[in-house]
Structure 1
Amino acid sequence: MTSSKRSSIALVIVAEMAAMSLWFTSAAVLPDMVREVAITPARQALLSSAVQAGFVAGALAVATSGIADRYDPRRVVAASALLAAFANAVLLITPIGGDAAIAARFATGALLAGVYPVGMKIAVGWGTRDRGLLVSLIVGALTLGSSLPYLAAFLGGVAWRPTVLAISVLAGVGGLLVLCAGLGPHHAVSPRFTPTAVRLAWQDSRIRNAYLGYFGHMWELYAMWAWIGAAAAASFAVTIDTDAAQSLGKLTAFLAIALGAIACVFAGAAADRVGKAEVTIAAMALSGIAAVLTALTFGGPVWLTFILIMIWGITVIPDSAQFSALVADAAPPELAGSLMTLQTAIGFALTIVTVQVTPILAASFGWPLVLAGLAIGPALGILAMLPLRRRGSGA
C-alpha cells in the first residue's frame, strides 16, 4: 500500500468516525434528558428512529441526484458532516423531545447520507483486489463513531448538553479532514439509481438472497445499537444502584459497539479467503445466540450480562459490509450502484420500525423478550445466505 493510499484512507476513516458519532447522540444522553423532562416512550424512540428515516430519505436523494458524481465527493462528505453537526447542535436550543428536536434528528440522518455512502465511494477508489477490506474499514469507522456518544455521555455524567456540544464539534471539525485526502486511481462515476434495479433485485436469486440476508442483519443491528445502553442499565439496576446502573449502561454500550469496529477489519480480510456468505452466516449465528443468552441472563450477575453484551457487540456488525459486496459481485456493473443503494435504503427503512418499537415493546413485555426477539432477524438471514456459500453456488 502506497503512502498516499495509506494517508488518504486514514483521513477518510477519521472523518467518517467523527461524523458518524452524531448518529446515536440522543440515544446516549436520553436517560439524562428524561431526568430533566418526562418524555413518552414513543417520543423517546422517535429521537432515534427519525435519524434512520432521515438517512433513508437522504440516501435516495444522493443516489437519484448524482450529487456524489457531479461534485468532488470529498467536498460532499465535508459539507454534509458540517451541516449534520449544526443540525445535531439544535438539540441544545429546542424543547427536549419536542417536534423541533425530532425534526433536527431527521435532518441529521439525511445529511449523514452524504457522509457514509460517499465516504465508501472514496475508499473503494483506492483499490480493486482489497475492496472487501476497504469497505470493512469504513464500516469499522462508522461502528467506532457510533460508539463515541456513549463514551462521551459516560464521561459527562448526567450533564447531557456538554456531550451534545462535544459530539457536534467533533463531527464538524473531524469531517473536514476528508478534504486533505486524495482520490484513488480507480475512482469513477457511479450510475444513478434506475428503476430497472427494482425488478432485477427480485428476479436474480443471488441478489434477492443477499438482500434478504441484509434485512435480517439490519433487523437486529440498529435496534441493538440504539437501545443496548438502556437495556443493560435496566438489567444492572436489578442488582446494583440505579445511578450506577445507568452509568455502567453507557460504558457497556460504548465498549460493545466499539469492539465491533475491530471485528469489521478481520471479517473483511477473512471474507476474501473463506467467502463472503460464509462470514455473514458465522457472524449472524454468533450474534443471534448472544442476543438470546443476553435475554436469559437479564437481571442476573452484572459481570455475566456485561460479557455477553460484549460478545454480541463484537459479532453483530462484522458481516455488514459483505452483504453489499455480494450484491456488487452478482450485479451487472452498470446496475451495481443502484442495486446497493436500493439495498441500503430498504434495510435502513426496516430499522425505522425496529428502533421505534423496541422501547415501546420493552415497556409492555419486558426487555428479555424483546432482546430474544432480535435474534429472529439473523436466524432468517442465515437461511437466506445458505445458497450463496461458495460450495452452494458452485463457485
Structure 2
Amino acid sequence: MKWILPLIVISQFLCTSLWFAGNSIVSNLIQDLQLDDSFLAHITSVIQFGFISGTLFFAIFTISDRYSPSLVFFISSIMAGLFNIAITLPEITPTTILMFRFLTGFFLAGIYPVGMKIASDYYRKGLGKSLGFLVGALVIGTAFPHLIKNYASSLSWKYVLYITSILSLLGGSLIFLFVPNGPYRKISSKMNFSAFVTVFKNNNFRSAAFGYFGHMWELYSFWAFVPVMLKLYNTKHVNNELPIALLSFFIIAIGGLACVTSGLLSLKLGPKKVATAALSLSCLCCIVSPLFLSTDSIITLLSFLFFWSFVVIADSPLFSTLVAQNAPEATRGTSLTIVNCIGFAITIISIQTINALANTIAPEYLYLLLAIGPILGLTALIKKSNKMY
C-alpha cells in the first residue's frame, strides 16, 4: 500500500510532461513556420480545449467510474503520447499542429483527473496530502519540457516531443502493471447524465468547485505567460538577458513543492483554510504585479515570480480534495472530471483575454486581470457557512 502513492505520483509526472511540450518549443515553431507571437496563446488554449472535450466525454460516459481507472490511464497515456509526437511529422502545418495538440489534451483527460480518482480510491484519510503529491507531480511534469528544451537547445526541437512521448508511455505502463483498482473504488454500472446537475446541488461541493474555478482563471495564464514575463525583462535589458527556458522550468516547478507543503499543512489546519490562504496570497500577487514586473532588479523580479508560482498552485490539490470529499461516492470520478472540465474551460477564456489585450494594455499592467478569478473564488469560499472539511 505504501508504494502505491509514489507510483501514482511518478506516473502522473511522466505523463503530464506532455502538457506544455508544445509551449516549450513554440518559439521554434514560430520561427520555422513564420507565425505570429500570438501562436503561444493558441497552442496553449487548444490543448486546454482538447482537455475540456476529453473531460466532457469521460464525464458523460462516466468512464473512470464504469471501467478500471488504471486501464483508462494506460490507454490514455499511449494515445496522448502518439498525438504529441505526431507534431514531428514532415510538412507539418499550423492547423495540423493545433489539431494534434487538441487530441493530446483530449487524452490528458484520461490521465490527470483519473490519476486523482485512483488516489481517492486508495486514500480516504489524508487525501489532501495524497493529492498534494499528485498535483505536485503535475506541476513538475508541466514544467519539465522547459528543462528539456534548455539542455537540448543544440538539438532539434523534435527531441522534446520524442522524450515526453516516451515518458508518457512509461508512466502509463507503471500504472497498468503495478497499480490495481483501489479498495474504496465503487463501480457505476451505467451512464449517469444527471451527474452534471445533481453534484452542484450540494452547497459544500458547489463552494469548493467555485473556489477552484477562480483559481483556474489565474493558474494556466500565469504558467503560459511566465516566459513572456521574463522576455519583458530581456527586452529592457539586452545586455543582461535571462535564460528564459531554464528559469521558466524552475519558476513553474517550484509549485510542486508548494503542493506538497499545502497538502501536509492541510492535515493540521484543514484543506479549506489552507486553500483560502493560498488563493488570497495569489490574488495579492496579481494586484501588485505591475510593481514587480517593471522593476530593474533581477533578484526582485525572480523572487516575486517564484513566490507567485508557489502560491498560485498551492490551493489546487486542496480544492480537488474538497471536491472529492463532498462528491457522491458512486460518481466521485465523474464529479472530479466535471469540475476539471469547467475549470479548464475557464483557462481558455483567461488565456485568450490576456492575449487579446496584450497590444492594448501595457505589459506591466496586463496581469492585473488575473485577480478577477481569485476574488470570485474567495467570495464563493468565504460566504458559505456550512461546515466543510
1:13-69 Cα shifts (integer Å, max 9, x gaps): 111101101111111111232233321244332211111111111112222223334
Residues 251 and 294 from structure 1, CA distance in 2 versus in 1: closer, same or farther, beyond 3 angstroms?
farther
Is contact 1:191-1:338 (8 Å) kept?
A: no
Please, which moves more after superposition, 262-271 or 233-242?
233-242
SS of match in other structure, 2:171: helix
Is contact 1:82-1:173 (8 Å) kept?
A: no
**TM-score where L is the length of structure 1:** 0.89
Residues 253 and 394 from structure 1, CA distance in 2 versus in 1: closer, same or farther, beyond 3 angstroms?
same
Matched, 1:372 2:368: yes
Matched, 1:113 2:118: no
Partner letter of residue 169 of structure 2?
Answer: G
Tell me the distance in 2 between the aligned counterparts of 1:190 and 1:64.
Answer: 12
Residue 9 of structure 1 corresponds to: 5
Give the drift of 1:294.
Answer: 3.4
Tell me the distance in 1 between the aligned counterparts of 2:16 and 2:287.
Answer: 28
Tell me the distance in 1 between the aligned counterparts of 2:246 and 2:56.
Answer: 34
Residue 147 of structure 1 corresponds to: 143
Matched, 1:385 2:378: no
Q: What stretches of structure 1 of length at least 5 have no aligned partner?
A: none
Give the drift of 1:241.
Answer: 4.4
Residue 85 of structure 1 corresponds to: 81
Residue 230 of structure 1 corresponds to: 228
Residue 137 of structure 1 corresponds to: 133
Matched, 1:280 2:246: no
1:62-115 Cα shifts (integer Å, max 9, x gaps): 222233344432222122112211111111125566111000000000011111
1:166 aligns with one of 163, 167, 170: 163
Tell me the distance in 2 between the aligned counterparts of 1:44 and 1:191.
Answer: 42
Identity of aligned residues (%): 30
Give the drift of 1:202.
Answer: 5.0
Please, which moves more after superposition, 299-308 or 68-77?
68-77
Is contact 1:223-1:355 (8 Å) kept?
A: yes
SS of match in other structure, 1:157: coil
Tell me the distance in 2 between the aligned counterparts of 1:193 and 1:303.
Answer: 53
Residue 175 of structure 2 corresponds to: 178
SS of match in other structure, 1:368: coil
Partner letter of residue 319 of structure 1?
Answer: D
Residues 192 and 296 from structure 1, CA distance in 2 versus in 1: closer, same or farther, beyond 3 angstroms?
farther
Matched, 1:294 2:289: yes
Residue 206 of structure 1 corresponds to: 204
Number of residue equivalences: 385
Give the drift of 1:324.
Answer: 2.8
**TM-score where L is the length of structure 2:** 0.91
Residues 379 and 167 from structure 1, CA distance in 2 versus in 1: closer, same or farther, beyond 3 angstroms?
same
RMSD: 2.3
SS of match in other structure, 2:73: helix
Partner letter of residue 247 of structure 2?
Answer: T
Matched, 1:316 2:312: yes
Give the drift of 1:259.
Answer: 0.9
Give the drift of 1:182.
Answer: 2.8
Tell me the distance in 2 between the aligned counterparts of 1:393 and 1:126.
Answer: 27
Give the drift of 1:190.
Answer: 5.1
Alignment of 1:47-126 (within 5 A): 47-93=43-89, 98-126=94-122
Give the drift of 1:203.
Answer: 4.2
Tell me the distance in 2 between the aligned counterparts of 1:136 and 1:197.
Answer: 26
Is contact 2:289-2:365 (8 Å) kept?
A: no
Is contact 2:113-2:340 (8 Å) kept?
A: no
Residues 193 and 318 from structure 1, CA distance in 2 versus in 1: closer, same or farther, beyond 3 angstroms?
farther
Is contact 2:20-2:142 (8 Å) kept?
A: yes
Please, which moves more after superposition, 42-51 or 158-167?
158-167
SS of match in other structure, 1:188: coil
SS of match in other structure, 2:365: helix
Is contact 1:191-1:337 (8 Å) kept?
A: no
Give the drift of 1:177.
Answer: 1.8
Is contact 1:276-1:322 (8 Å) kept?
A: yes
Residues 212 and 70 from structure 1, CA distance in 2 versus in 1: closer, same or farther, beyond 3 angstroms?
closer
Give the drift of 1:306.
Answer: 1.0
Is contact 1:237-1:299 (8 Å) kept?
A: no
Alignment of 1:39-50 (within 5 A): 39-50=35-46
Tell me the distance in 1 between the aligned counterparts of 2:161 and 2:258.
Answer: 28
Residue 359 of structure 2 corresponds to: 363
Partner letter of residue 173 of structure 2?
Answer: L
Please, which moves more after superposition, 88-97 or 185-194?
185-194
Residue 188 of structure 1 corresponds to: 186
Residues 232 and 192 from structure 1, CA distance in 2 versus in 1: closer, same or farther, beyond 3 angstroms?
farther
Residues 96 and 297 from structure 1, CA distance in 2 versus in 1: closer, same or farther, beyond 3 angstroms?
farther
Is contact 1:191-1:335 (8 Å) kept?
A: no
Tell me the distance in 2 between the aligned counterparts of 1:31 and 1:378.
Answer: 30
Matched, 1:270 2:265: yes
Partner letter of residue 43 of structure 1?
Answer: F
